[in-house]
Structure 1
Amino acid sequence: MEQTESDIDARLAARLRALRAEQGLTLDGLAERAGVSRSMISLVERGRSSPTAAVLDRLAAGLGVSVASLFDGIGAEQASPLSRRADQREWQDPATGYVRRNLTPPGIAAPVTLVEVTMPAGARVTYDTGPRAAVIHQQLYVLEGEIAFTVDGGTVHLRAGDCLASQIDGPSGFHNPADRPARYLVAVATGPARSGAGTAKPGIAKG
């Protein structure tokens, strides 16, 4: 069963509208929170524009959720504890060509969301979002190739088999420095804890 990119954009648009409505936010209110123009949000919510990964990150931060949660429910008519490979929908960033696929069964109450990402050779995805309403707890595990991950102004280089745990509460970025695609898993959980508030924050060596 194949799902077109336009269909995914339409479902993503509906998800964004629903989350905004749940929080009682107007377009202007979300624009102020997310740092994304009202017109851009309107285009995305009407399925008239395919957002980049950076724009999705800003919108997610403005809504107090993770990017992964924006894709929750896409590709499933009802919640199920089983997510078959054929039903796991892929989304491609129009700016960089990186492809993300939510592995966690959509619509279930899971504390952690698992995402698989394929990053093209030389590609770089930068998220410039500032402090978030809720910290994103993340574990990054490289399956193939290598990834340079930047957070808090520090960069760590990861190769196949490496796993990094971190908190995301500011700008971050992923870069594939190699001449072949990289594939990695990201486990994401959203929580209220912030660094310095009782939760240890893994350090990243600057470089």
Structure 2
Amino acid sequence: MDIHSLIARRVRELRDGHGLSLEALAERSGVSRSNISLIERGQSSPTAAVLDKLATALGVSLASLFEAPGPSAEPPSPLARAADQAVWTDPASGYVRRNLSPALPSPLQLVEVHFPAGQRVAYETGAREAEIHQQIWLIEGAMEISAGDAHWRLEAGDCVAMRLDCPTVFHNPAREPARYLVALSTPPFSPARRNP
């Protein structure tokens, strides 16, 4: 399954799980109904900022939009082979994210990010229904990260912890790409928890 089809199925599955119409998700997220419809049909290449708005409105982490959808006849695997990990490129900034975590349910999600030199991504969204924490460990390069009023400059080997509850900006101020690992602590999504 290609990455746009994967995102399409996940957004639709999560929206259905919350019992939300396209109009209701559009109102909650600030993303137009027509744009959500295109995303759910796999006919759009949404930016990271748009996907984050949808994830926030659906009460999940951005990484959750790249997970394999729904239960299947096979039990979820505790192993994620590199060739099977979802890789997505943000069309606006060119940053590349790879979901490292296996399909086996876990309160942790791991994501590897390659962030191009000079690029910036701003997530306008704030608090989610579910409390989500993340740690970012910079492997190579430099990154400037802002979360609300807090600002950090990370060099290789530095690690920062934050809660996803305020606008966040990621910026690579250097002339070289940066690479970092994101570890997210997320509560499991339960389709039984429907929201009006």
In the TM superposition, 1:16-165 aligns within 5 A as: 16-73=11-68, 79-106=76-103, 108-165=104-161
> Which of 172, 177, 186 is the aligned partner of 1:176?
172
Structure 2: where are the runs of 5+ without partners? 189-196
Distance in 2, Cα, partners of 1:120 & 1:140: 16
Structure 1: where are the runs of 5+ without partners? 193-207
Secondary structure of the 2:186 match is: strand
Contact kept, 8 Å, 2:109 with 2:186, in 1: the verdict is no
Structure with bigger RCO (C-alpha 8 Å, 6+ apart)? 2
What's the TM-score once normalised by structure 1's chain length?
Answer: 0.85
What RMSD, in angstroms, separates the aligned Cα atoms of the two structures?
A: 1.6
Shift of 1:178: 0.3
Contact kept, 8 Å, 2:63 with 2:111, in 1: the verdict is yes
Distance in 1, Cα, partners of 2:82 & 2:187: 28
Secondary structure of the 1:135 match is: coil
| Structure 2 residue identity aligned to 1:27 | L
Shift of 1:190: 2.5
The alignment-based identity, stated in percent, is: 58
The ranges of structure 1 where at least 4 consecutive aligned residues each deviate by more than 2 angstroms after the TM superposition are none
Shift of 1:26: 0.2
Secondary structure of the 2:15 match is: helix
Distance in 2, Cα, partners of 1:186 & 1:51: 21
Contact kept, 8 Å, 1:132 with 1:170, in 2: the verdict is no
Shift of 1:143: 0.4
| Structure 1 residue identity aligned to 2:26 | A
